Amino acid sequence: MVSHEEFDDSDHLEVVREARSAAAERLKMPGWFHPLVGLGAGAFTVAFGLGGWGVRIPAMVLFIAGAILLVMWRQRVTGLAVTVQTGGRADHWAGVAAFSAMIGVIAAATVARFTDLDGVVVLIGLGVAVIVTASSPRVGQALRDEVRDGPIAR
């Protein structure tokens, strides 16, 4: 065992840097993770737009249950429970995904309510899926950067 006297301050900082870097690496998700998140958001958008409440309620339950299961799986695999509320780039990209999904659901429901353009609703859902799929890895990368590099100076 190494005694405290054998370390200088730079050694302690290096140990912290290595631990943060190892934690950041554990946050990497497999390739299927991000498209699955996007597919869930896009499918929910289409179901909400085209379905009545008999479809919307089950779609909401399935979407929320799927999101919870993905979070639980991620925590089990990585050993880390992470929230995206750091005020940094991860928040930005999570906001892009969430805002796009929200606007998409509203647009899909509006188009379906006032027109017979079901194809447009499907295209809106596809757009949501693409935006969420593209944003999700950026959330992950920003989060890994924040874990590795430390908190954001304000």
Q: Which of 1-5, 27-31, 131-135 has the highest mean pLDDT?
A: 131-135
- Work out the mean pLDDT of the chain and round it to a whole number: 87
Please report whether residue 4 resides in a domain: no
Cα-only R_g, the chain: 20
- Of the chain, the percentage scoring pLDDT greater than 70 comes to 90
- Number of separate domains in the chain: 1
pLDDT of 149 reads 86
Tell me whether residue 19 is in a domain.
Answer: no
At residue 115 the predicted structure's pLDDT band, cuts being 50, 70 and 90, is very high
Is the pLDDT at 100 greater than 90? The verdict is yes
Nearest to 131 by CA among 37, 63, 31, 48: 37
The verdict on residue 118 lying in a domain is yes
Closest residue by Cα to residue 140 from 80, 94, 72: 94
Going by the DSSP 8-state scheme, the letter that residue 5 receives in this structure is G
Estimate the crossing angle of helix 118-149 against helix 89-114, to 10 degrees: 170
Distance CA 6, CA 135 (A): 45
Give percent of the chain with pLDDT exceeding 90: 52
Domain assignment of residue 3, yes or no: no
End-to-end Cα distance, the chain: 39
Look at residue 7 in the predicted model and tell me its pLDDT.
60
- Window from 89-93, 124-128, 142-146, 149-153 with minimum mean pLDDT: 149-153
Residue 89's domain comprises 31-147
Q: Which residue has the higher pLDDT, 47 or 151?
A: 47
pLDDT for the residue 154: 43
Backbone angles phi, psi at 8, to 5 degrees: -105, 175
Please indicate, yes or no, if residue 44 is contained in any of the structural domains: yes
Residue 15 lies in a domain: no
Helices (H), the chain: 9-26, 33-50, 53-78, 89-114, 118-149
Residue 153 lies in a domain: no
Lowest-confidence segment of 17-26, 85-94, 141-150 by average pLDDT: 85-94
Closest C-alpha to 26, from 132, 151, 143, 119: 143
Q: Check if the beta carbon of residue 50 is closer than 8 Å to that of residue 111.
A: no
Distance (Å, whole) CA 44 – CA 59: 6
Task: Flag whether 92 is in a domain.
Answer: yes
Q: Residue 86 in 3-state DSSP?
A: coil
